[in-house]
Amino acid sequence: MNLLRSILALTSFASAFGLMCYFNPVPEANSPVTASSAMTPALQPASMDPTPEALDPALQLADILTLPLSQRNDEALQKLSRLLLPQDPEAAFRAAMAQWGDDRSGMGAAAEALVKKDPAAARRLLAECPDLRSKRTLEGYLMADEVSRNPREKLRWADETLEGVVKQQVVAAGAAALAQLDPEAALEFAAELPPGTMKTNTSIKSLRATLGEDPARAVQWMLESVSKTERGIIAHAAFSGYAKDHPEAALALLPTLHGELQETLAWTMLESKLRAVKSPSEYFSKAAEEIQNFPAESRLSVVRSLVWELSTSAEQEGRTIPGLLSAISRNPLSGLPSSKP
């Protein structure tokens, strides 16, 4: 009996071993065996393999849009909106509309891109907007596009007819378009606006176009058409682009200005030159070099502005007031009192 049990056990083991070898054959002598191949199952479920469909933002968006509002993930929708924006702005706008949160920048970027690519599609989508937020955003860009295409006839209509944020958006876009066609007409329009955000934005866009063609006219307009309170903000924004795009012309214009406008242009020129400088020592060396090119009467105000910026911003890469004063002490600027006894 014991002998029979031993024979049966040996037979069972041999059968199991044979089956195992059948499904997992021993590699040939010349076949390399690696740890990964030995540990990897012979068959893998197909669902584990990544497929193009699983990575397609449009399909991912379609899946999310089938979910109830309460189950949609804003972060995922924001990522999908950014991914879809370059090729499919309509889908990007749908992703922005589906969010619970208020992602104004993402929604605005998608609306602007859609209107530029396909205004007809944007008008059709307007009827699908589920809330006032998305409707007003898309409507604003559609109107801005329409006014920008014919600013001479429609800009004043927009100013007299529209209201609120949409009005500001449309008028600013129309004024920018008009400034490219007729800078003088844009300045005349801006001069008639009451003080406020819309006048500021419209003036900046009009002046940027005018400065490149007729800087003397732009300066005259700033002195005559805006209050002193508005002038500082408007001049800084307008001069910033001018100093960056036309550095030689800005340097030639600088001595012709006086007072606040001269100080503002000088400061924006310095900002433009220092924007890309990283090293603290190079930063102050470059500042001293550039300030030497300014009229003597504007140098002190520029240094004062630089000190103010350093005192009101967080310390970055060693750019500190002592560093600036030390640089001036070592290389005193002509026209400025030296800190040496």
At 149 the pLDDT is: 93
Count of other CB atoms within 10 angstroms of residue 57: 19
Strand, coil or helix: what is 336? coil
pLDDT digits (tens, 9 = 90+) for 102-146: 788 899 999 999 999 999 999 999 999 988 889 999 999 999 999
Question: What are the extents of the domains in the chain?
Answer: 72-191, 278-341
Per the structure block, which two tokens stand in for 139? Answer: 């409507």
Residue 323 in contact with residue 285, Cβ under 8 Å? no
| Type of residue found at 41 | P
The alpha carbon of residue 249 and the mean position of all alpha carbons in its chain are separated, in whole angstroms, by 28
CA atoms lying within 13 Å on the CB side of residue 164? 6
Helices (H), 98-182: 104-117, 119-126, 132-149, 151-161, 164-181
Residue 268 in contact with residue 251, Cβ under 8 Å? no
pLDDT digits (tens, 9 = 90+) for 300-320: 878 777 777 666 555 555 566
Angle formed by the axes of helices 89-97 and 104-117, nearest 10°: 150
Burial degree of 328 (CB within 10 A; 0-12, 13-18, 19+) = buried
At 321 the pLDDT is: 63
115-127 exposure pattern, b = at least 16 Cβ within 10 A, e = fewer: beeeeeebeebee
At 301 the pLDDT is: 79
* Cα–Cα distance, 128 to 329 (Å, whole number): 66
Give 176-183 contacts, CB < 8 A, sequence gap 24+.
176/148, 176/205, 176/209, 177/147, 177/148, 177/149, 177/151, 178/151, 178/152, 178/206, 179/205, 179/206, 179/208, 179/209, 179/210, 180/209, 181/151, 181/152, 182/152, 183/209, 183/210, 183/213, 183/214
At 130 the pLDDT is: 87
Please name the residue that has the structure tokens 């989508």.
125
The alpha carbon of residue 150 and the mean position of all alpha carbons in its chain are separated, in whole angstroms, by 27
Average pLDDT, consecutive stretches of 10 residues, N- to C-terminus, the chain (341 residues): 43 43 44 40 37 70 87 90 93 91 87 94 92 91 94 91 88 88 90 88 88 92 92 94 92 90 90 81 79 81 74 57 63 54 43
Which one, of 288, 283, 293, 292, lies nearest residue 253 by Cα? 293
At 2 the pLDDT is: 45
Per the structure block, which two tokens stand in for 326? Answer: 């030390």
